[in-house]
Every structure is written in C-alpha cells, then in structure tokens.
Amino acid sequence: MVNSLVVLITGANGQLGQALQAEAAGFPALTLISTGRSEVDICDTASIGQAIQRFQPQVIINCSAYTAVDKAEAEPAQAYRINRDGVSNLAAQAALHNIALLHISTDYVFSGEQAHPYTEQDSPAPKSVYGASKLAGEQALLQSGCEGAIIRTSWLYSEFGTNFVKTMLRLAQSGKPLKVVADQYGSPTYARDLAIAILQMAEATEQPLFNPPQLWHYANNGITSWYDFAGAIFHTAGLECTVEPIQTSAYPTAARRPAFSALASGKIQQHFNTPVPSWRDSLKLALTQLLSQASHKAAD
C-alpha cells in the first residue's frame, strides 16, 4: 500500500499484541508486523537491530514485558532486565534509526494512596518490584532521546491470553463460592479498546506530540473493585456464582497492589479524539466475544 506506515509489534503473542492484530483491519494505513520473543528479543540489541534492518519500521509498539507481579518480588533482576533494560535497548535503537517508540506501562507505577483517578501529572511511587521496574523503563525511554509515547493502562482483559475475566468464567464452572478482594479499586480496561487508541497514536506519530515523548493514560471509564467487577462478569454472562467480598489482608500476596489505581484518560481522549467507553459497556462486548468462542468450541 502506498504511504503505508510499517509498525513493528514486539511481544505480539500477549493479549494486547493479539488485540492489536484483531483491530488491524480498521487501520488500512498501517502495516502491522507482529513478532514474539523468538523473533525480537528486546534484551538483545543485535536482535532488535536485525528486526529493524529486516522490516524497516517507522513505528515500534512495545508489548514485551515481565508481568508476573508476585514472581517479580523473588526475581527482581529478571524483571528489571526486561522492563527497564529491554526498553532502554529498544529506545536506543529507535533513536538511532529515527523510529517512534510507543511503549506500554502500568497503573502499578502509582502508590494507590489517592482517592481520585491518576493523571499524567501525578507523581509515581510504586509499591512493588514490578511497578518499580516498569517505572524504570518509562524513565529509560524518556531519557533516551527517541520519539514516541508511554501509554499507561490498568486491569487489562480480553478474549486473548490469561486475565481476570477469563479466570472468573473458568472458576464459575466449578460451582463453588468464590472469594474476591473488595478493597482494591481501579478501571478495568478491554484490550481491544486500548489497541484502537494505540493504533490511532501510531497513525499520528508525525505530530509534535511525540517529540519529545510524553506520558498518556488509557483505561475504560468508571471505577470498580475486583469484587464488583467479578459480580458484573457473572451477571452480564448470565452465570450463577456466589461471590464473597474479602479484604486484601485476607488474601496475602508477595507483591503489594495499589489500593486505588484508576487512571484518568482525558488527555488521550482530547488530543486523539480517542473513544473511551465505560468498562461495563466494554465488558459486554468482551463477554459476547468470549461466549461466542466457547459456543463454537462446544460445537466443534
């Protein structure tokens, strides 16, 4: 296609990478090239350079990340190797080859101690190794001299990969009561909504907004707890499942989670006219997709 922008996706086998591929048809001006770690290892500068040489991208979307939040507490070196050093490698190569780098980050960079949605101006203060390693990756990109953007998101789910919605649907099949944390609040985000926002940004990387890079937040509208989110999943899916609310203290984990990590998406909505649906509306869409997949599998 004439004037097509070549967009290289790293970490494309995860749920966001798959969501980007699922939304590609809506962006005919973009040519998406999806790569997994076997094709592009962001911890290996040579691997990145070879991919750039081969595909000649104008934009890189980095979906590669170490996301095992609890495991990171015992493996900080590995978390930092991917979430900080890998991003630093990508950013250096992007700067060298004049490529815009769109990097995905997380609500876990915040402490969770405020009671209103976090904006891009709020100061990060991570409480976990995972959050600290992701913040270090953000800082590496901002200091690299490359063009691009950092897009923070939260509570990501979809019909792809492993996530809270799919886990709840699976556990509901057991017929046993579930206990779900009720004192952590955030904004559930449908990966396909986030993918649309990212691809809109990829189309616009010639704009001055990307040089120097800025911080952006994208999460579906509305705030809920994990407990209420679980209830909404079962209600929307038409499933009978007893859910008992519990406190974070009753469900100890290796990593501390932010008690409140909702993100305000006004900035990205304003600059890119990006749709930001409510989490409830997007949950309905996701469940329609998931339940349709399940019925097709049953028919096979």
Q: How far apart are CA 262 and CA 299, in angstroms?
A: 39
**Contact (CB, 8 A) for 251 and 258:** no
Catalytic residue among 66, 80, 130, 218: 130
| Complete edge-to-edge strand list for the sheet that includes strand 214-217 | 30-34, 5-10, 59-62, 100-106, 147-153, 214-217
Nearest to 190 by CA among 221, 147, 217, 212: 221
Q: Is 6 left (phi over 0), alpha (psi -120 to 50) or beta?
A: beta
Interhelix angle 191-203/279-299, rounded to 10 degrees, is: 110
Considering Cα of 47, then 52, then 55, then 57, what sign does the dihedral take?
Answer: positive
Catalytic annotation on 218? no
Give the residue numbers marked as catalytic.
130
